[in-house]
Amino acid sequence: MTKYYSWSVDGTQSDSYQVTVMIFSGPPDKDDSEYIGEFTMFFDTLDDIKVFLDEGQGELCRFKAIDSELRSLIGEGGG
State the average pLDDT over residues 2-14. 87
Q: Which residues of 6-43 are buried (b: 16+ CB within 10 A; e: fewer)?
A: eeeeeeeeeeebebeebbbeeeeeeeeeeeeeeeeeeb
Is the pLDDT reported for residue 77 higher than 60? no
| Residues 40 and 54 reside in one and the same domain | no
22 and 49, same domain (yes or no): no
Number of structural domains found in the chain: 2
How large a percentage of the chain has pLDDT more than 90? 56
- Comparing 67 with 79, which gets the higher pLDDT? 67
Give the pLDDT confidence score for residue 79 in this predicted structure: 46
Structural domain harbouring 27: 1-44
